[in-house]
Chain A
Amino acid sequence: MRFRTCLLGGAALAILGACGAYALTLRSSMAAITPPSQASFDKVTVEKGAILAAIADCTVCHTAPGGEPFAGGLPLKTPFGTLYSTNITPEETTGVGSWSLEAFKRAMREGVDRQGDYLYPAFPYTHYNHVADDDLAALYAFLMTRRPVKATPPPNDLIPPLGFRPLLAGWNLLFLDEAPFAPAEDQSAEWNRGAYLVEGLGHCGLCHTPLNLAGAEKTSKTFAGGVAEGWTAPPLDASNPNAARWSVDRLTAYLRSGLDAEHGVAAGPMGPVTHGLSTVPEGEVRAIAVYITSKMETGESAQQHGESLPAAKPLDNAEEAAATHQAGAAIFAGACAGCHGTGAPMSSDGRPSLALTTDLAADDPRNTIQTILQGIPELAGQKRPLMPSFAGVFSDRDVAEVTAYLRVRFTDQPAWPNLHDAVVEARNEGEKP
């Protein structure tokens, strides 16, 4: 009897404890407001917000393919399931029209929506918490003056129990760094501006830093490179294989045009990033480049940055590659050489030789394979190379053959192992959920 009482008492205590822990995770709902009129926002602030939104690339995640801008619904494939981005147009019931500036700031800094529900950290509040008050107010003014669109994204499809949002309170406790942005006193104003943009709104680290098992950035490996949507996000530190050939001028131009004559084209998820940055004033992008370039510096290459390097002489082991990879050579000749062959007209006008691309020199073949499968799509309003997708033309074996050939012909790096498996995996990862 006493034992049973104890057991019951224990169970009751456990339930109470769990309720207590749950109660600690609860966040208050903030009062809904009537959507403010567009005229209530100052035009200069809205314009400033537009630039900040381009740096943060809000529209890339918050717009579904072919959908209304900022109306959400884009599927985001994560190791934990598929998330759908939310509607951030100022529509009252399905968007953020009823959000006050205070509610918006809380979402940006703490990852909690107006109603008090936790947001998933695919939304980069882990970076946005470094953004200054007046910049958040400008972003708010920009979003609240967009066209309201009534649209509800599909429900998230996450592995259990991750659909239970209060769990994120624990995640935030472990991984949300609430320290405000602190400028480095020994660095220039431009470097600090870059640091502020990169670590805050730009949220570059979310793709370019490896993630831990809980999907948070490994803070010990900031900018050591990561994976995003089936593409490798190359390291932005000294381990980048082509770090020495980046200078502030080159990186600024690349970020605004999506193309660099000694590195290649911004493909995959980086394409839209450069598309957004093409609308941002050059000074802001240059500040980003100053900061990132400093991260890529090592003892040896440090002196070279900022100076113009002698033009790299592209490697071309054509004969060796043709002898060792006959099938790949035939595919290259028939499908690729029109643009990428020696002397091809498409290899001029600032388009790099394949021997200079970061992807072919990388440790893993992921980006080379994805570029072949998905191509480099057109981005409205941006003049840059267009490469067709070969996903429907090449079998997995064909992609593996031509990738192996490219590696031998245009690099002096060791062959990539298990290419066929890598192609199968890349096809899976690149598929839209």
Chain B
Amino acid sequence: MTLTLNVNGQTRSVEADPATPLLYVLRNGLGLSGPKYGCGLGQCGACTVQLDGEAVFSCLTPLAVVGERPVVTVEGLGTGEAPSVLQKAFIYEQAAQCGYCIAGMIMRAQALLDANPSPSDAEIRAHMEPNLCRCGTHMRILRAVRRAAGSKNAETEAVR
């Protein structure tokens, strides 16, 4: 059946069964390959996107429950030429090793910063807890989130 989704600020129509997980439609139907298939069980976070502002596992989010709620993937934050503050911070800290988890990490962190622009270290750690990095760059990822949170003037401060 034809379903209408609101993805990265645009209205998109997809041909899919309502039981289809959002991740499959984002990647295969809409060509947004930022969110990754990791475990398919909500245990790793590689597929994390924002749904109505909240970080969710898109691999466990059937289209049936998405409805009109806005979906944001890492492609919705910035581009290679104009990365967002958080993306710049991840680049500055070189927080990616293999990079497979990073889009999910960024989306989970963005949900935190949207709700709480200056989180404490404990809040960052607690919030990021569902997402795993098998390369072990967690310390750099935490630094990147801290760096982005410290950028008070989000739009103008270029990451040095």
Name A residues whose Cβ lies closer than 8 Å to a Cβ of B.
65-66, 327, 329-331, 333-335, 338-339, 346, 378, 386-388, 390, 392-395, 398
> Size range of the interface on B?
20 to 34
B41→A334 contact, CB < 8 A: no
Q: Mark B23-56, 1 if CB is under 8 A from A, else 0.
A: 0000000000000000011110000000110111
Task: Confirm or deny: B97 has a beta carbon within 8 angstroms of a beta carbon on chain A.
Answer: no
Please give, as numbers and ranges, the residues of chain A lying within 8 Å of B51 by CB-CB distance.
Answer: 392-393
A395→B62 contact, CB < 8 A: no
Q: When A338-B40, A338-B41 are in contact, do A333 and B62 touch as well, CB less than 8 Å?
A: yes
Q: When A338-B41, A388-B42 are in contact, do A393 and B61 touch as well, CB less than 8 Å?
A: yes
Please give, as numbers and ranges, the residues of chain A lying within 8 Å of B21 by CB-CB distance.
Answer: 334-335
Query: Contacting chain A: which of B12-20, B82-90, B141-149?
Result: B12-20
Q: In the complex, what distance in Å separates the CA atom of A291 from the CA atom of B68?
A: 53
Please give, as numbers and ranges, the residues of chain B lying within 8 Å of A335 by CB-CB distance.
Answer: 21, 60-62, 65
Q: When A338-B40, A339-B41 are in contact, do A393 and B19 touch as well, CB less than 8 Å?
A: no
Please give, as numbers and ranges, the residues of chain A lying within 8 Å of B130 by CB-CB distance.
Answer: 388
Q: In the complex, what distance in Å separates the CA atom of A390 from the CA atom of B56?
A: 8
A393: which of B20, B65, B122, B129 is its contact (CB, 8 Å)?
B65
Please give, as numbers and ranges, the residues of chain A lying within 8 Å of B55 by CB-CB distance.
Answer: 392
B61→A330 contact, CB < 8 A: no
B67 to chain A, nearest CB (A): 8
B56→A334 contact, CB < 8 A: no
B122→A330 contact, CB < 8 A: no
For A66, give the chain B residue with the smallest CB separation.
B122
A334: which of B63, B122, B129 is its contact (CB, 8 Å)?
B63
Task: Confirm or deny: B64 has a beta carbon within 8 angstroms of a beta carbon on chain A.
Answer: yes
B62→A334 contact, CB < 8 A: yes
B42→A330 contact, CB < 8 A: no
B19→A338 contact, CB < 8 A: no
Q: When A330-B18, A334-B21, A393-B60 are in contact, do A398 and B65 touch as well, CB less than 8 Å?
A: yes
Please give, as numbers and ranges, the residues of chain B lying within 8 Å of A66 by CB-CB distance.
Answer: 122, 126
Task: Give 15 CB contacts A-B under 8 Å.
Answer: A65-B126, A327-B64, A330-B17, A330-B19, A330-B64, A331-B65, A334-B63, A338-B40, A338-B41, A378-B129, A386-B43, A392-B51, A392-B52, A393-B61, A398-B64
B19→A388 contact, CB < 8 A: no
A334→B61 contact, CB < 8 A: yes
B65→A388 contact, CB < 8 A: no
Q: In the complex, what distance in Å separates the CA atom of A334 from the CA atom of B18?
A: 8
Residue with the highest number of chain B CB atoms closer than 10 Å, among A330, A334, A335, A346: A334
Q: In the complex, what distance in Å separates the CA atom of A327 from the CA atom of B41?
A: 21
Q: In the complex, what distance in Å separates the CA atom of A392 from the CA atom of B65?
A: 11
B127 to chain A, nearest CB (A): 11
Q: When A393-B51, A394-B65 are in contact, do A334 and B60 touch as well, CB less than 8 Å?
A: yes
B20→A334 contact, CB < 8 A: yes
